[in-house]
Amino acid sequence: MNNRLTALIFDVDGTLADTERDGHRVAFNRAFATMGVNWHWSIDLYGELLAIAGGKERLKFYLEKYRPDWQTENMTEFILQTHQLKSQYYRSLLQEGAIPLRPGVKRLILEAKEQGIRLAIATTSSLPNATALLETTLDPAWFEVIGAGDIVEHKKPAPDIYQYVLSQMNIAPQNCLVFEDTAHGLAAATQANLKTIVTVNEYTKNQDFTDAILVINQIGETAFPINISYLQQIMSNK
């Protein structure tokens, strides 16, 4: 089987940058204040809420579990409006430069580009939110497919978003390598027959990554960087 590495597919939140703790969480709290509700998602609580993929889905879960008695005229509308506000705040945080890329991300992506490796995104985040991060840190044009949020019916851990990206790229899974940071993301990629490198973060470091081909704490910036030829080696050995 030809398993030459020809494409890298990146998850966004938590993988490219620590957008969850410093971005989406902070933005949700600002949106709650604007909506006039006295709720605050702490770093710890947000860690628990991350079990639910998707910002709208996460808020719905929070309301059901933590605010069962709270009433509003139209719950769906409330969720949509709060999510929209949250997204605006999130994008402002990005524009302020409040959420830098994780170490090594830009270096590896630039190296991949130079070597003609194809690039794509597969995320649960909504498209405008994912694109906003790419616009402020990298360049959306570098990615031939940006698979995001509501494009597919089932969010991660379902494999839908990865299957979507593979079919848009018209590429076989054995020629791709995925970068993820969560067990949900790993499950999604694995079910789409993709090999995955997990770069853990504070929220995800204790999750089960048995199916990953490699688990690291960051991609690596200077002295001993992970580079394309090393990734090619990992692919051939697995």
Residues that bind ligand XBP (CB under 6 A): 11-14, 20, 24, 53-55, 123-126, 129, 149, 156, 182, 185
The two structure tokens encoding residue 2: 């030809």
Active site residue 11: yes
| Rounded Cα–Cα distance for residues 162 and 53 (Å) | 15
Is the CB of residue 13 less than 8 Å from the CB of residue 20?
A: yes
Q: Which is nearer to ligand XBP, 88 or 193 (CB)?
A: 88
| Rounded Cα–Cα distance for residues 167 and 169 (Å) | 5
Q: How far is CA 90 from CA 75, 87, 96, 190, 226, in A?
A: 22, 5, 10, 29, 30
Could you tell me the smallest distance in angstroms from the CB atom of residue 192 to ligand XBP? Answer: 13
Helix (H) or strand (E) run with residue 140 in it: none
Q: Which is nearer to ligand XBP, 47 or 54 (CB)?
A: 54
The DSSP letter of residue 100 is P
Q: From 158, 204, 164, 160, select the one nearest 180 (Cα to Cα).
A: 204
- Active-site residue identified among 11, 18, 160, 181: 11
Could you tell me the smallest distance in angstroms from the CB atom of residue 126 to ligand XBP? Answer: 4
Could you tell me the smallest distance in angstroms from the CB atom of residue 214 to ligand XBP? Answer: 18
Q: Which is nearer to ligand XBP, 159 or 185 (CB)?
A: 185
Q: Which is nearer to ligand XBP, 188 or 226 (CB)?
A: 188
Active site residue 13: yes
Q: How far is CA 182 from CA 33, 52, 196, 223, 238, in A?
A: 29, 12, 11, 26, 21
Measured from each CB, the residue nearest to ligand XBP is 55
Could you tell me the smallest distance in angstroms from the CB atom of residue 225 to ligand XBP? Answer: 23
Kindly give the interhelix angle for 228-237 and 105-114, rounded to the nearest 10 degrees. Answer: 80
- Active-site residue identified among 13, 18, 160, 181: 13
Could you tell me the smallest distance in angstroms from the CB atom of residue 238 to ligand XBP? Answer: 23
Catalytic residues: 11, 13
